[in-house]
Amino acid sequence: MTSHATGARTWVFPAGHVPAESTGHEPEMTSRDELCVLNTSDEDADVELEVLHEDAEPVGPYPLVVRARRVRHVRVNDLVDPQAVPLGVAYGLVLRSSVPVVAQMVRVDTRRGGLTTTALPGLPV
């Protein structure tokens, strides 16, 4: 079966905010923003992420690969090189890919002893 590339090469997420607090067992109950990238093409997607801040210069690139016809989930909390994404601070994220992909962000918030998840759709450019 031949797959077709679906999505866009650039995605923008303006509403990032990794909660600074968590409750429960780590790592499964760690509060986080998680980027989900779906690559439906027959080629690997070379992806670069750039993080923008309200009062600091942009940081990046954070490179990652999403294999052909696969999905990849990346915790924003785990983006540490070239610089860790600060917790509890608003940020924006720009994703640029070598092939069209589909992307969304999921926020997992365990601050109040429960579990809240929110899907944050990206804007394809």
Structure tokens at 92: 């924006």
122 Cα distance to chain centroid: 10
CA distance 37 to 63: 13
Structure tokens at 61: 């690139």
pLDDT tens readout for residues 100-112: 999 999 887 777 7
Q: What does the pLDDT read at residue 29?
A: 67
Residue spans per domain, the chain: 8-124
- CATH top-level class of 8-124: mainly beta
The pTM for the full model equals 0.88
Q: Residue 2: is its pLDDT beyond 60?
A: no
Longest dimension (CA), the chain: 48
Q: What does the pLDDT read at residue 28?
A: 66
Structure tokens at 86: 């600060």
pLDDT tens readout for residues 16-63: 888 777 676 666 666 778 999 999 999 999 999 999 999 999 999 999
pLDDT tens readout for residues 75-88: 998 999 999 998 88
